[in-house]
Amino acid sequence: MDNIVYDMASQSEREPNIFVKKNWVSVLDNNAGNYSSANLVIDTSQISNSSSWASYREGYITMPLTLCLATSTASNTFNPTAGNSVDYGIGLKNSYFSMIHSMSVDLNGVTICQTTPFQSLWNNFKLLTTLSYQDLLTIGPSIGFYPDTSSAWSYQSTAASVYGSIGVSNNVNNFLAPVVTGAANSLEASNIGMYQRQRSWNFNVAGLTAPTQSAFSALITQTSLNTIYKSNIIRIAAGIWQAQIVATIFLRHLHSFFDKLPLVKGAFMKITLNLNNSIVAFNATTGRVLSQTQASSSFPLGGVNPIMIASAVAGLSATTGSGMANLQVGVATDYVASICVGAQILEPTARALGTTGFLVNVSLNVPLYTFNPVYEQAYLANVVRKIDYSDIYQYSVQNIAAASTFSNLITNGVAGLVSCLVIPIHSANATTNNNISPLQSAFDPCGGGTTSPMTYLNNFNVIVSGQNTLYSNTRYLYQSFLEQLNGCNGVNGSQVDGLSSGLISQFDFESCYNYYFVNIARGLPIEAGVSKSVNIIGQNMSAFPVDLYVFLEYMISIQINLLTGQRV
């Protein structure tokens, strides 16, 4: 502490300006507002031709999302007016990454980040093991990020319920007290993460500032909200509820390449994003029973369904309830929820009832700097810069039977291996989840950060070129968490208290964040460029069959001329 006091007292001179100017530039995508193909492309020609230094690490993508709830017919039996509000009835899974199934990046015509399916699973894991709780308060609302409560899930094995279809649900978003008496041991009754994410975008100008008090419309109009691009509910009418969300995705979170890229001029990039535009049909019957139906066309890329539908549980009293408690369920009624990039609703029936959003195009926003000439000269002393970043391969091992062992070859050879991440998820079948994959369930947050609950692996190990990475197979949960997962992406590897060690605790890991992570980078430098095979072994301890989504992280090194943006 004394050193800090002395250093602060000694800093009497003004810090020099390294940059003389900083301007943010916004670049529209190439789709002209049409995202029905679930694909969008952004190129950086405007930035590369600016003769300024671009800081892509600070950059972010602004992505308009249209979220809609409607009846699947035009009968207008659904009327979400103030007395039947469903403003908290529909939400999104954790982080706006769930909208991106895969991506690629080309630098001057050469692919430097390859297309990898289910990339959102990896990016959510990185955020969960990197961010701090303070980050949840500051950037969490911007990126749609707040972890789901790990102990609020439930499982229904025989028929649909107020929570959702057969399978796992974690969608109660009102503040119910935990049940600690009798036979129930639900630990938590409410998914606070779902509620926190919803409140960051579901502003309703017609809502009351407090019970029996004036509405927000007394302070600001809907037109003004739309003009300044504030996320809000833009239409409530017979048969339709619609919101537009102004989503932010930071480039440094999207891919390691952007995080490692220094200030550069003249770099022409093409960023291609494949989108999880989704449509979910569900049924609400007498007794507030919800049931999801599924068609392959609803998830064209077969990726994560970003939509979450709140429980229809009525609550502890007549005045409290989860988000769908006001849904009209007097008779069996078919509903459809949809999410898509852009200002237009993709689902035909809802599109006829809805309206066009206020934000149409996706944009890339990057700051451009002008150097102080003295510092620019020093920066260009090493004009060719080596960049070390990581990319991922994704593999899957399907339908590992309950209590069975597995030994699977993941790859015959990958060079520069860094880590192996295994994400266990319940297989889709009739008895476990009504043939709906947890990744595509609208009642289960799986795919937005959580795994399927209690999908434990025993005797787990990663074998690289015939050698066990772990000295002995991990058998116990505390081993898997404390020795491998804890601090894997945190500051100082969780070895210094008070610094960020991520957001996953051992309690979370033992509930529904069953990530199995192993560092496989250790070895002699001469071996870094050698291609190595990877096997995983273990035993599925779950009572259900599971699918393993395996991600191999590997290092890539390239050299870039900072002045021209050309790869050397």
pLDDT of residue 286: 67
- Give CA torsion, residues 308, 181, 426, 554, to 10 deg: 80
Low-confidence ranges of the chain (pLDDT < 50): 316-319, 330
Tell me the residue type at 142: S
What is the spatial distance between Cα 97 and Cα 420, in angstroms, rounded to a whole number?
20
Q: In Å, how far from its chain's centre is CA 399?
A: 25
What is the spatial distance between Cα 322 and Cα 8, in angstroms, rounded to a whole number?
52
Q: Which CATH class is domain 383-557?
A: mainly beta
8 Å CB contact between 433 and 441: yes
- Per residue in 306-353, pLDDT (tens digit) is 999 998 876 544 446 788 887 765 455 688 999 999 999 988 888 988
φ, ψ for residue 252, nearest 5 deg: -65, -25
pLDDT of residue 319: 45
Q: Where are the alpha helices (DSSP H) in 380-526?
A: 430-433, 477-479, 506-509
pLDDT of residue 317: 42
Instruction: Bin 27: left if φ > 0, else alpha if -120 < ψ < 50, else beta.
Output: beta
8 Å CB contact between 403 and 539: yes
pTM: 0.94
Q: Angle at CA 232, nearest 5°, toward 231 and 235?
A: 140
Instruction: Bin 108: left if φ > 0, else alpha if -120 < ψ < 50, else beta.
Output: left
8 Å CB contact between 432 and 155: no
What secondary structure does DSSP assign to 134-191, as a single string? HHHHHTHHHHT--PPPTT--EEESSS-BSS-SSEEE----S-PPP--STT---S-S--
Which DSSP letter does residue 425 get?
E
pLDDT of residue 161: 80
- Per residue in 107-131, pLDDT (tens digit) is 999 999 999 999 999 999 999 999 9
